[in-house]
Structure 1
Amino acid sequence: MAASLRFSHAQITPEVLLLTLGSDTTLRGHVRRVAPALLKLNLSHLEQVAQNHDGASADDEIRAKAPSNSGGERFLNTYAHDLTAQARAGEIDRIVGRDAELRQMVDILLRRRQNNPILLGEAGVGKTAVVEAFALMIADGRAPGSLADVTLYTLDMNLLQAGAGVKGEFERRLTGVLDEVRDSPTPIILFIDEAHSLIGAGGQTGQGDAANILKPALARGELRTIAATTWSEYKKHFEKDPALTRRFQSVKVDEPDIDTAVRMLRAIVTRFEEHHGIAIRESALRAAVELSARYLPERQLPDKAVSVIDTAAAAVRLSRDVDPEALQAHQIEAEHLRAELGRLRSEPPTAGAPREIARLTQELTRAEQAAEVIAAELAHHRALADAADEVAASGATDALTQLGTLEKQLQKAGGESPLVSRVVDAEAVAQVIGRWTGVPSGRLLRSQIAAVGTLADRIKTRVIGQDAAIETLSEAMRVARAGLNDARRPQGVFLMVGTSGVGKTETALALADELFGGPQGLTVINMSEFKEEHKVSLLMGSPPGYVGYGEGGVLTEAVRRRPYGVLLLDEIDKAHPGVQDIFYQVFDKGSLRDGEGRDVDFRNTTILMTANTGTDTLATLAEDPETMPDAHQIPDLLKPELLAQFKPAFLGRLTVVPFLPLDADTMGKIVDLQLGRIADRVTGRYQARTEVTPAARTRLAQAAQAGDAGARAIETMLSRDVLPRIADLFLNSVADGFVPRAIEIGVSADGAGFTVSALGKRRRLAS
């Protein structure tokens, strides 16, 4: 404080430090204990040195940059940066696609009054780039009229506020900047980015409002500025101050369209090629813009496309310099196996040790061989890539032909999973999008397009007896994978109706496993928790002023975190009717605005809903297979019951998928499926075979058929009556040191329960 206010120094100098230590009563006590010799210094002499310092000390260079109330443009050089100088030095990338905004800004700057433009747009659309384009215009001598000799400075608000906690320091710095701008022999325009920080909370505790300092200078025309902020911050801060608002003229900076964004990337791509040492293809630019526009809706073009290109170039560079992940995985596995083998060989031998050592040795050999194969392929791929680099750098007349041949060889050698990438192409960009969002793209997308053709058959192996419903879902998924669905709407919206235990939830699980890589691709929301009207807002998040604001909604946050997957709204018929109104916009436009005003994108989500509506009608229709109507006619027969439960506008925006009651044959197949899963677990844990008597199979199927729980009754009976007996059998056997080679599941003598018995000889457990 003494250095700044008493002596107008930006830094703490040695003489000021010594003077403060000797004159402050609190500090003198500490100095007396630590360094009493310092108290003998002549304080008057130190004060004279501090006031009359002529810059002869070792920190002259720092002092020369320190702001002072006198001595030229020291404030401006400290707290602002010369954009025109950076433009002349070639430090600013060429800007394209903002000609209209640049012309509008220049028109405002040429006015006599209200000549302060403020750029308004969402984060990432390129507001700062418009100002940089103006700096390039000045540097190139293309600025019109009175703007030709202007110097453009950008005000660094962080530097201006840093260390200005003392009351008056912030105002002193800002006033010093304004004085130097006013007194400069050449006209100066200040660019203030994040201009909302000037209003209200522009200073920290003890500081004033910077906007009030700027208003007089702006009103008198002594200061010309270019401001930039977002729409939300402008509305929150600027519009509340009409006196400040009328001194600025807004310039709207919208997100560019696809073609304009591609041109913007094309203008700066050379800088990325030089930085990474990697060639970037034209196809990569368009892929970055198109894929980011579709799959990164929370960010704006061109910023998100630039991030994608930068990341893809870094990934390609990494593949040239670092061993691929597959090779590293085998090498790490081999290292762990060697360590485990070493530990086993150093321990006293046990009965099972030789078998375990043999197994580990076999796995080690397999891992080493796999690593050697990948290493050989990697060397071949890198040799092709290096040869292509040499041809590209040679400048030969037939270089393009040779380069094309080598790249085809590299692509053929790499196949679907290349170990080395030489250039950034559309495939590399698609992989980046896939890693960021989980969206299958590129080669992964092509494999899924091929797999979706057999989707129905694969789901039918898990969901038995619902072929018509599965075909309906699979057809919609094929349309979505082909890219022929409405891009404004979700991938699919289905209402699965039917009695409990017929496979609705299992269908959602199977769809997530087959298309989205496992259960992590499924988000389940139990809609029965939203029976009361006041809980409906929890889906979108509480509005401002309510408890829970800012914590996000159950529905919106789930989709925001995993926008690509299956969303299961379970038991939606039990939710409050007001819930249905929320989904109109989701089904029509593929988006939903949460409690904080942010739009959540549902376009890459497959929405499944379950309901028990129509249970009686479906049961009646299924009683006689001969009179069962066609699957496409059943939704019409269910319409009266559906309209009694759901609003017509809600039903009109989705596809009704009926799930029929399960007959005896279907129950028998489900019993076999569930018993097969138990047999797999027994084999994997105890290497024992599992057999089931026909009586036990029939007993399970009949019990499930007689109840109202459907196929769920089978799983309940197995968990309650069969698995405990299997567990007791094996636990008792393990205690004796032997386990059976096979077990049999049967029915008890009275027919009321199940039995589990051992078959054949027992096997001794390894020590």
Structure 2
Amino acid sequence: TTLDEYRKHIEKDAALERRFQPVLVGEPSVADTIAILRGLKEKYEVHHGVRITDNALVAAATLADRYIGDRFLPDKAIDLVDEAASRLRIEIDSLPLEIDEVERRILQLEIERQALLKEKDKAALERRKSVEEEIAELRERSSAMKAQWQAEKAAIGEIQQIRSELESLKGEVDQATRRGDLQRAAELRYGRIPELERRLEEDERRLAEVQTKAKYLKEEVDAEDIAEIVARWTGIPVTKMMESERERLTRLEQELAERVVGQRQAVSAVANAVRRSRAGLGDPKRPTGSFIFLGPTGVGKTETARALAEFLFDDERAMIRLDMSEYMEKHSVARMIGAPPGYVGFEEGGQLTEAVRRRPYSVVLFDEIEKAHPDVFNVLLQILDDGRLTDSQGRVVDFRNTVIIMTSNVGSGIIVESGGPEDETAWARVEQRVRDELRQYFRPEFLNRVDDIIVFRPLSREDLAQIVDIQLRKLEETLAARSLHLQVTAEAREFLAQQGYDPVYGARPLRRVIQRELQNAMALELLEGNFREGDTIRVERAGDHLRLVPAAAVPEMASA
């Protein structure tokens, strides 16, 4: 039984307790788990009919220990091996993907051929001829592939049968030895078992020969299979990086800069943290990265977190966001980690801890941290240092695979006053003044645990021109869903950038300008039926406002 169950049911009855001798069984280490897995390996190989490599066992123990926090060794490592082996067994018994694709293509062409039989024109006859030729070619290819697959499957089946027989004979040897039937034990150990081992070796060699032409079946579980199961259980990418992902990670700065304009330092710091983590060089006891983003409103602090979430999960909403203005009271800390025992909501858990338990690989955004009560930051200390947090029910939540981003407007007055000087020396002085002001708000032990404090520059007119393009691209996507196209002249773009430029408020006024000058007029035109599906809306500047005209009605467009 577990310690909790023992305390609850047995310890309270002293008469019952003294009739038992408690034996404490601790969780085995990773090395012990590997030894346990090696002992179980043959039984699982026979049960699933696949071979399990030693590096798969090592990967199961190490990855389970590193990434699966809510269960114990060796149980979680055994489950990984079991699931990876059963998945491979199902793949062996199912039709391989390559053959399945050819079969589906044949079926598709057969349907097309039947439809063409009713047609009598020349084009249909020619098409039918080419379809029949393709069907014949694909059938030939399919039969060759199936023959290869059946040969592999038969060889693997024989190997599985011999392994199963070997396992039962080894069990019989043990039984014969125990009951003293040494003649039977010797007969099996030195006769039948070596013969089966020789046959197994021959069959494995024959399988290797069959697979030299083509390989449709994989009959051994390796470390990559284990990593795939871990990735599926936890959502943490621990599999080997594909070439496409390597390329994306090397140009992560460019990908983030497409959305976050004019903040090279912030983008670079976040990109380096993600690369360290995926390359396996990050500190295994701390979060992937922890940052404080400082700067005036509307310069891209929250947008950087959104862009990172979109890069990692292909969805900018896949981000755990806590608005710290909701944590202004001292007692609101309980909302983060859960209410203490005896209080309402004890069973529900905390907003932060529950979200990270469900998605251990995520971007956690603490927005506008200066608005929170100072006691909230005591909770963050062990997250930043140890990558863990204990919730109100005593469960340890793992933060080691999260990127922690905290945003703040502290010192934004200093940045706006300075106007974001181009000169690096002058900017370094501004940064120092902002950091000094930050130290007045937060304790040294909190700031000392953060990986990097990044000061965002105010947006220049050139930056805003780029943001105009980004915002208009989003509007184009919205219109494309209604089969409409957008064409904005250079003068109109310049007008939007001029109207939306405000160094104090950043890029947010631009969104309001686009709504006021463009979207309001566009909504009215669409409701009046002036633009229909397939039309191109051309946006031109007309003095101190914008004008919408159908692109077809503009004569110079034809020559353009």
- Whether these two folds match at TM > 0.5 is yes
2:92 matches 1:296: no
Deviation at 1:477, TM superposition (A): 1.7
CA RMSD of aligned residues (A): 3.7
More displaced 10-residue stretch of structure 1: 315-324 or 467-476: 315-324
C-alpha distance in 1 between matches for 2:205 and 2:278: 35
Equivalent position amino acid for 1:395 in 2? R
- The answer (yes or no) to whether the contact 1:391–1:403 under 8 Å persists in 2 is no
Query: Structure 1 stretches (4+) deviating beyond 4 angstroms?
Result: 323-339, 371-381, 390-394, 396-410, 444-447, 627-631
Deviation at 1:628, TM superposition (A): 5.0
C-alpha distance in 2 between matches for 1:303 and 1:549: 29
- Structure 1 residues 740 and 652 mapped into 2: Cα distance closer, same or farther (>3 Å)? same
- Structure 1 residues 279 and 540 mapped into 2: Cα distance closer, same or farther (>3 Å)? same
2:540 matches 1:746: yes
Deviation at 1:739, TM superposition (A): 4.6
2:303 matches 1:511: no
- Structure 1 residues 381 and 652 mapped into 2: Cα distance closer, same or farther (>3 Å)? farther
Equivalent position amino acid for 2:512 in 1? T
Deviation at 1:406, TM superposition (A): 6.2
Question: What are the equivalent positions in structure 2 for 1:590-669 lying under 5 Å apart?
Answer: 590-626=387-423, 629=426, 636-654=432-450, 655-669=452-466
Q: Which has the higher contact order (CA 8 A, sep 6+)?
A: 2
2:382 matches 1:588: no
2:491 matches 1:695: yes
Unaligned runs of 5+ in 1: 1-228, 343-367, 414-418, 763-767
- Structure 1 residues 563 and 627 mapped into 2: Cα distance closer, same or farther (>3 Å)? closer
- Structure 1 residues 325 and 533 mapped into 2: Cα distance closer, same or farther (>3 Å)? farther
- The answer (yes or no) to whether the contact 1:456–1:474 under 8 Å persists in 2 is yes
Deviations 1:480-508 (A, max 9, x none): 22212210111111111111111111111
C-alpha distance in 1 between matches for 2:238 and 2:434: 39
- The answer (yes or no) to whether the contact 1:501–1:711 under 8 Å persists in 2 is yes
Q: Corresponding residue for 2:22? A: 250
2:542 matches 1:755: no
Deviation at 1:610, TM superposition (A): 1.0
Aligned identity (percent) is: 36
Deviations 1:360-398 (A, max 9, x none): xxxxxxxx9xx9999799758836743763795783767
- The answer (yes or no) to whether the contact 2:421–2:427 under 8 Å persists in 1 is no
2:469 matches 1:672: yes
Q: Which SS does the other structure have where 1:592 is aligned?
A: strand
Deviation at 1:601, TM superposition (A): 0.6
Deviation at 1:588, TM superposition (A): 1.1
- Structure 1 residues 674 and 494 mapped into 2: Cα distance closer, same or farther (>3 Å)? same
- Structure 1 residues 406 and 607 mapped into 2: Cα distance closer, same or farther (>3 Å)? farther
Deviation at 1:329, TM superposition (A): 9.7
- Structure 1 residues 657 and 378 mapped into 2: Cα distance closer, same or farther (>3 Å)? farther
Deviation at 1:702, TM superposition (A): 2.3
Unaligned runs of 5+ in 2: 115-134, 163-197, 555-560
- Structure 1 residues 607 and 373 mapped into 2: Cα distance closer, same or farther (>3 Å)? farther
C-alpha distance in 1 between matches for 2:153 and 2:143: 15
Equivalent position amino acid for 2:66 in 1? R
Alignment TM-score, normalising by the size of structure 2: 0.79
C-alpha distance in 2 between matches for 1:645 and 1:284: 50
Q: Which SS does the other structure have where 2:22 is aligned?
A: strand
C-alpha distance in 2 between matches for 1:545 and 1:377: 70
Alignment TM-score, normalising by the size of structure 1: 0.58
- Structure 1 residues 712 and 680 mapped into 2: Cα distance closer, same or farther (>3 Å)? same
2:354 matches 1:557: yes
More displaced 10-residue stretch of structure 1: 304-313 or 401-410: 401-410
Deviation at 1:249, TM superposition (A): 3.3
Q: Corresponding residue for 2:372? A: 575
C-alpha distance in 2 between matches for 1:536 and 1:658: 27
Q: Corresponding residue for 1:164? A: none
- Structure 1 residues 398 and 505 mapped into 2: Cα distance closer, same or farther (>3 Å)? same
Q: Corresponding residue for 2:50? A: 278
Q: Which SS does the other structure have where 2:482 is aligned?
A: helix
C-alpha distance in 1 between matches for 2:51 and 2:60: 15
Which has the larger share of helix?
Answer: 2
2:276 matches 1:479: yes
Deviations 1:685-704 (A, max 9, x none): 3253x222333222322233
- The answer (yes or no) to whether the contact 1:740–1:758 under 8 Å persists in 2 is no
Deviation at 1:442, TM superposition (A): 2.1
Q: Which SS does the other structure have where 2:347 is aligned?
A: coil
Equivalent position amino acid for 1:725 in 2? A
- The answer (yes or no) to whether the contact 2:291–2:453 under 8 Å persists in 1 is yes
Deviation at 1:746, TM superposition (A): 3.0
Q: Which SS does the other structure have where 1:756 is aligned?
A: strand
C-alpha distance in 1 between matches for 2:464 and 2:38: 61
Deviation at 1:681, TM superposition (A): 3.3
C-alpha distance in 2 between matches for 1:399 and 1:331: 30
C-alpha distance in 1 between matches for 2:209 and 2:497: 63
C-alpha distance in 1 between matches for 2:234 and 2:427: 40
Q: Select 1:386's aligned residue among 132, 150, 153.
A: 153
Deviation at 1:521, TM superposition (A): 3.4
